Chain A
Amino acid sequence: MEKKRNAGLETWLMHIFLVGTALAVLYPIFMMVMSGFKTNAEIFGAPFALPKSFNFDNYIVIWNTTDVPRYLLNSTIVTLISVFVLLITGTMAAYAISRYRFRGSIMVSLFFLAGLMLPLRLAIIPLFVQLKAMGLVDNLLGLIFIYTAMSLPSTVFILTGFLRALPGELEDSARMDGASELRIMVQIMVPLITPAMVIAGIYNAVPIWNDFFFPLIFIQTPENKTLAQGLTSFFGEYSVNFGVLYAGLTLAALPLVVVFIVQSKRFIAGMTAGAIK
């Protein structure tokens, strides 16, 4: 009897702790969204009250007078193209490494994996000099190349694991029928690893979308800024209008949060893919 009461108390404490943590996450986000609908006077006078009206004035200010829409577009372009190029080149490398035995194949796979160990931001100075010489500074293409290169090792790592696990009979019988290597790869093998490609894509897309460091150094003109970086200039311009600032943060957070809520399982699997064996 004594033991059972004890277990009941333990369960209660567990629920209180979990609910408390969830509130500590959700309440600040909730306040950010609510404050985005407020005026300065409301934020100062009644900070915890609900907004007097849910009008979109602050959002209209952002849409009409700031570069935030442009930043959103740039981030979308950079992320989509980087992930697209990344998945194609990453699949090519992973396919060669995992489906063929050739001389030096171990060296080749070590070459791609070594990239996992190199924190590229410490090479930012030579990278800057190099991109300057290539005319890729203040150019979205420069970011796309960096993100693709930076994400290739993890992509090759994730995809190699999945490709190795595919049975060899599939390609052997297709080869017997005279199918070309390209056809075997594109029509038979690659469709089988699309779930892994989704995981690798998410694993890299989220940090690319959120990255602040590389644009901070490589992008200067407002038309080329990405969202995370552009927010800093937006904060400089509107530093006295708190409602607009909160609305800007909400707007910036919205795209990824919506995708995450719809695809939470895939996101969690994708983003923890590098840390879970």
Chain B
Amino acid sequence: MQTADYARAKRARARNLKLWLAFLLAPPAFILIVFVFLPMASAVLYSLYDWDGLVRKEFVGLDNFADILFNPNKNSILFNAFWNNVKVFTSLMVIQNGLALVLALLLARNPRGYRFYQVVFFVPVILSTVIIGFQWKLFLNPVFGLVNKALHYAGLSDWALPWLGLPETALPAMLLVNSWHWFGFPTLVFLAAIHRIPKDFIEAARLDGASEWRIAREIIWPLMAPAVTIIVVLTFIGSFNWFEIPYIMNGLEGSPQGSTDMLGLLFYRTAFGSVSAGGSDFGAGSALAVLMFIFIFIFSVIATKYLTSREVELS
């Protein structure tokens, strides 16, 4: 009798526990399925159909993909945008992350004003890209802008260019704005990584008379590899999804002359329509999204694998 009661109580308890777990997991799982997994899976499905506005027409297999990649009237725009994204990634790696690395190495030496610099460098990071894009668009205005005003006062009137209006300078200007916006983030990630390196390593090298450059190159750099991996992958994802800065500063068409066109802008134009792309095309838009996702995913996996193999384990 006693044991039967005990078994029943145990069963009841197990059942209650199951209910309790279901209660905990169901709401978050439901939100995630409906608003993330379902749309992501649908994107693949959508890319296989022909669309007329919001109405799905017949199944067309991989025609949308073929049209994007091989139709000579369209793929030059795609390749131009892709090439611009490549430029964005490589430039940001050098300018933004290079600056961040230098600043992190300097801050790691605990200079006076250490806290102040940390806070100041992080202020642009918390601001909306929209605010920063518009702010610099105003600064770069050819007539009213502070940049050209400063050049005039400095006697460099010849240098006062319509920065966002020339195909040669528009993208570089935007890249500098993006670096201004974000450099504080990799700086503090790198700095945190340097702080995790045991102090004795660096102190011992310093006592042995190693130069700061050698310490940075041979001790700090290899030991901060995990942070570098994360920043490279995040910069890559950010570069190939780059949308806000070019959209705010020069609009949806990637002007002038496609010099600031990006995959993100092209995706938006294809999906929701524009002057140049015509009406909205959900099939081609979804196909482009699927291609971008595959590309970003494959690169991230390869880069993570490669960069992780470079990491040194401290034991």
Contact = CB atoms under 8 A, between A and B. Distances in A.
B185 interface: yes
A153 interface: yes
Interface in A208-251: 209-210, 212-213, 217, 227-229, 231-232, 235, 242, 245-246, 249
A56 interface: no
Contacts of B244: 212-213
B39 A120 contact: yes
Interface string A114-131: 010111111111110110
B129 A102 contact: no
Interface string B18-61: 10110011011101101111111011011000000010000000
- Could you tell me the dominant secondary structure of chain B's interface residues? helix
A265 B251 CA distance: 36
A232 B130 contact: yes
A268 B111 contact: no
A267 interface: yes
B122 interface: yes
Contact of B134 (A11, A227, A231): A231
A172 interface: no
Contact of A96 (B25, B118, B150): B25
B193 interface: yes
B199 to A, nearest CB: 18
A52 interface: no
Contacts of B28: 89-90, 92-93, 112, 152, 156
B243 interface: yes
Interface string B221-252: 00000110011001001000101100010000
B35 A25 contact: no
A21 B121 contact: yes
A100 interface: yes
B127 A253 contact: yes
Contact of B32 (A129, A153, A242, A261): A153
A125 B43 contact: yes
Interface in A16-44: 17-18, 21-22, 24-26, 28-29, 31-32, 35, 43-44
B32 A112 contact: yes
B171 interface: no
A164 interface: no
A28 B181 CA distance: 12
B21 A100 contact: yes
Contacts of B117: 18, 21-22
Interface string B178-215: 00100011001100110000000000000000001000
A204 to B, nearest CB: 13
Interface in A181-214: 181-182, 206, 209-210, 212-213
Given A125-B289, A153-B32, A275-B189, A242 B237 contact: no
Nearest to B292: A122
Contacts of B20: 181-182
- Could you tell me the dominant secondary structure of chain A's interface residues? helix
B38 A249 contact: no
Contacts of B274: none
Given A129-B54, A210-B128, A227-B128, A93 B243 contact: no
Given A119-B296, A126-B46, A130-B38, A145 B21 contact: no
B123 interface: yes
Nearest to B230: A275
Given A256-B126, A276-B192, A10 B212 contact: yes
A36 to B, nearest CB: 11
Nearest to A182: B20
Contacts of A277: 226
Interface string A126-141: 1101101000000000
A124 B271 contact: yes
A271 B25 contact: no
Contacts of B150: 48
A264 interface: yes
A57 B144 CA distance: 20
A81 interface: no
B93 interface: no
A-B pairs with lowest CB-CB distance, top 6:
A149-B35, A126-B42, A210-B128, A123-B39, A96-B24, A89-B28
21 contacts: A15-B112, A25-B120, A29-B124, A43-B144, A90-B28, A100-B17, A102-B18, A112-B28, A117-B297, A121-B241, A125-B46, A129-B282, A149-B32, A152-B32, A217-B272, A228-B130, A229-B130, A231-B134, A249-B131, A256-B127, A260-B122
Given A89-B31, A253-B127, 10 more contacts: A24-B180, A100-B17, A122-B289, A123-B40, A125-B271, A148-B35, A156-B28, A210-B129, A231-B131, A232-B130
Interface of A: 10-11, 14-15, 17-18, 21-22, 24-26, 28-29, 31-32, 35, 43-44, 47-48, 89-90, 92-93, 95-96, 100, 102, 108, 111-112, 115, 117-127, 129-130, 132, 145-146, 148-150, 152-153, 156, 181-182, 206, 209-210, 212-213, 217, 227-229, 231-232, 235, 242, 245-246, 249, 252-253, 256-257, 260-261, 264, 267-268, 271-272, 275-277
